[in-house]
Structure 1
Amino acid sequence: MANHPEGIVEAVGASVANKGMLVGAATGFFGWLSQVNWIGIAGVAVAVLGLMVNVYFQARRDRRETAESAAKIQALREQCPR
């Protein structure tokens, strides 16, 4: 869970990625409103980078949770009498 070092790193990474996407989107919108192309392009680039980091950390979380779930199911099977 989140008490393990990997879980902490993934939680922080996902949080930073989400905030990066928001900042990038806001910057892109500001650039579009002000019609300054480089601000809009920079905002879109930050948003895309944030999205890629978010997808990476979500995939890691999904793999970790699948492995934890399989381990819990195996432990329960071992506890059940046959």
Structure 2
Amino acid sequence: MANPTPESIVEVVGASVANKGMLVGGAAGMVGWLSQVNWIGIAGVAVAVLGLMINFYFQVRKDRREHAESQARLQALRDQCRL
């Protein structure tokens, strides 16, 4: 197995934190709504939206990286076929 690069470790941790933040924010928003405490609900929604934006950012980076890797793999296969 290849050694993970620091960039990939940051992306994995960032995506994991964003997913957990969305869950916690959603739960806090629900608790705030059920308990009729507006500031808890607003804070929960804010945390959930922040988690969603962070998750979106890391997904875009992942898609770009996978696209570049796919293109490199296809080019390597094309080069092998021209032996």
TM above 0.5, one fold?
A: yes
Q: CA deviation at 1:32?
A: 0.4
TM score, norm. by length of structure 1:
0.93
CA contact (8 A) 1:2 1:8 kept: no
Change (3 A) 1:65 1:58: same
CA deviation map 1:20-55 (0-9, x unaligned): 000000000000010000000000000000000000
Equivalent pairs counted in the alignment come to 82
Which runs of structure 2 are paired with 1:1-80 in the superposition (5 Å)? 3-80=4-81
CA–CA separation in structure 2 for the residues paired with 1:47 and 1:16: 11
Runs of 4+ aligned structure 1 residues displaced above 2 Å come to none
Consecutive unaligned residues of structure 2, counting only runs of 5 or more, are none
SS in 1 for 2:52: helix
SS in 2 for 1:3: coil
CA–CA separation in structure 1 for the residues paired with 2:16 and 2:44: 18
Percent identity between the two aligned chains? 74
SS in 1 for 2:4: coil
One-letter amino acid of the structure 2 residue matched with residue 37 of structure 1? N
